[in-house]
Amino acid sequence: MYQHTRLTTNRLGFFQKFRNFDYILLVCILLLGFISLATMYSTDGGEIKFHTKSHFTKLAVFTLMMLIMSFINIKYWFSIGYLAYVVVVGLLIGTYLFGITSSGSQRWINLYFINLQPSELMKIFIIVCLAKFFHRMKLENVNSIYTILTSLIIILLPMGLVIVQPDLGTAVLIAISGIAVLWFAGINYKYFIYTILGFIISLPFVIAFLKPYQKLRVLTFLNPDKDPLGAGYQIIQSKIAVGSGGIFGKGFLKGTQSYLEFLPEKHTDFIFTLFSEEFGFVGSAILLVIYAIIIYRIVAIGASSRSYFAKIFCYSFGAAIFVFITINMSMVLGLLPIVGSPLPIMSYGGSSMLATMIGFGIVMSARVHNQQLIA
């Protein structure tokens, strides 16, 4: 096996790798970074303050990291798949044991140089791990009990660790990342259909087990006007901000809803609201187009990759990113209950950006080494 791999390896020179870059994807990511910086500048009230500076630093460091990652052979990312998963699970356990508590949940772990949110990283590394898991598997084995059980354990272990933080939103996103891989790996349709049916049937029981604040969120989503100053406040204010933006928006730095502090969490989960208020329907549509191009490029890179690992990773990552974006936007537009889910790249938050950039890095690496086969 190793011999085979070595034989088919075509070592690329530095400039060759450079030429293999997906520049459309890179430009879109940089553009997105620029937009997110401008939006962050607006949340700081039109001044360069803490959030803008910090976001800029993270953006610069992580973009650089992504570029470096793309020069590293996709083989390498394949080889660390399980290890990375184990390390992140270890970090999650560490978070559970010695994590930093903030606003009622224990999500962060102090790594001396950085406060990390391992659950965010898990969104990516669960894809890497499962992609590796399915890479070697023959299609007839995919639907075996062993495979399904193993992959379920791989998904449920970090989910459980995240749920106890408690952070249901991120746990759901991790599950979605994992399920995306299962979907592309070729698990039988019927399992998905059964799962969906089972979920719908068990929904009332799930709701019964939810924490009071989570129940409130669901109820609030169903009827935000019930308690407009309490639980419904976020959804209502967010909708007002977006709706009042109109076609062309109120103008950069002129979003009254955010400027006058009616918007909650405007740096993180509700960043799209602010953007949408200031740049209107046209701006939001452009932002969506940028995201669409990014996802399209990710999928295209997957399609052009020779290795199954790269393919399944790209497809799953593309689907996961899409779901993250959709959930965040649906939430701020009042289509889904409030679950804590950041908008990739746009939202303030280092761990989320790190995870996304790692994802992009692996995708870019798959692009640069798209002729690479992994046995």
Q: Return the structure tokens found at 128.
A: 């890497």
Tokens (6 digits) for 39:
């939006």
Q: What would the two tokens of residue 103 be?
A: 């606003």
46, 90, 243, 251: which one contacts another protein (CB under 8 A)? 243
| Residues in binding contact with another protein, number by CB under 8 A | 44
Residue 304 is a binding residue for another protein (CB under 8 A): no
User: Is residue 242 a contact point for another protein (CB under 8 A)?
Assistant: yes
| d(C-alpha 272, C-alpha 39), whole Å | 9
Question: Phi/psi at 294 (nearest 5 deg)?
Answer: -60, -50
User: Among 6-14, 204-212, 214-222, 291-299, which window interacts with another protein (CB under 8 A)?
Assistant: 291-299
> According to DSSP H, which parts of the chain are helical?
2-8, 14-20, 23-43, 50-71, 74-79, 81-98, 118-135, 139-142, 145-163, 168-185, 189-209, 212-222, 233-245, 256-259, 271-304, 308-332, 350-368
Confirm or reject binding of residue 183 to another protein (CB under 8 A): yes
Does 190 sit near another protein (CB under 8 A)?
no
Structure token pair of residue 310: 């790269």
**Of the candidates 336, 218, 213, the residue with the CA atom closest to the CA atom of residue 269:** 336
Among 62, 85, 322, 348, binds another protein (CB under 8 A): 322
256 belongs to the binding site for another protein (CB under 8 A) = yes
Tokens of 234: 């976020």
Residue 174 Cβ vs another protein, minimum distance, rounded to whole Å: 18
Q: How far is the CB of 78 from another protein (least distance, A)?
A: 16
The residue range among 24-32, 46-54, 116-124, 254-262 that interacts with another protein, by the rule CB under 8 A, is: 254-262
Of 221, 309, 315, 348, the one binding another protein by CB under 8 A? 315
Shortest Cβ 119–another protein spacing (Å): 24
Taking the complex as a whole, the smallest distance from the CB of residue 103 to another protein amounts, in Å, to 19
Q: Does 257 bind another protein (CB under 8 A)?
A: yes
The per-residue b/e assignment along 59-86, b for 16 or more CB within 10 angstroms, e otherwise, is: beebbeebeebbbbbbbebbeebeebbe
Which of 21, 56, 252, 308 touches another protein by CB under 8 A? Answer: 308
In the complex, what is the shortest distance from the CB of residue 253 to another protein, in angstroms, rounded to a whole number? Answer: 14
Binding-site member from 33, 99, 118, 280 for another protein (CB under 8 A): 280
User: What is the distance of C-alpha 190 from the center of its chain?
Assistant: 27
Q: In what order do the strands lie in the sheet with 115-116?
A: 100-102, 105-110, 115-116
If you write DSSP's letter for every residue of 218-254 in order, what string do you get? HHHHH-GGGSTTTTTHHHHHHHHHHHHHTTT-S-TT-
Residue 241 interacts with another protein (CB under 8 A): yes or no: yes
Binding mask 23-62 for another protein (x = CB under 8 A): ----------------------------------------
Q: Residue 128, interface with another protein (CB under 8 A)?
A: no
Should residue 75 be labelled a site residue for another protein when binding is judged by CB under 8 A?
A: no
CB of 331 to another protein, least distance (A): 11
Q: Is 15 exposed, middle or buried (0-12, 13-18, 19+ CB in 10 A)?
A: exposed
Q: Which stretch binds another protein (CB under 8 A): 83-91, 110-118, 206-214, 324-332?
A: 324-332
Please state the length of the chain: 375
288 is an interface residue for another protein by CB under 8 A: yes
Among 312, 331, 353, 354, binds another protein (CB under 8 A): 312
Looking up tokens 């950085």 gives: 114
Judged by CB under 8 A, does residue 299 bind another protein?
A: yes
CA distances from 107 to 50, 304, 374 (A): 22, 37, 35
Q: Which of 111, 210, 285, 286 binds another protein (CB under 8 A)?
A: 285
**CB of 143 vs another protein, minimal distance in Å:** 11
Q: 198 to each of 56, 188, 201, 219, how far by Cα in Å?
A: 44, 16, 5, 22
By the criterion CB under 8 A, which residues form the site for another protein?
138-140, 183-186, 237, 239-247, 256-257, 260-262, 276, 280-281, 284-285, 288, 292, 295, 299, 302-303, 308, 311-312, 315, 319, 322, 326, 329-330, 333, 335
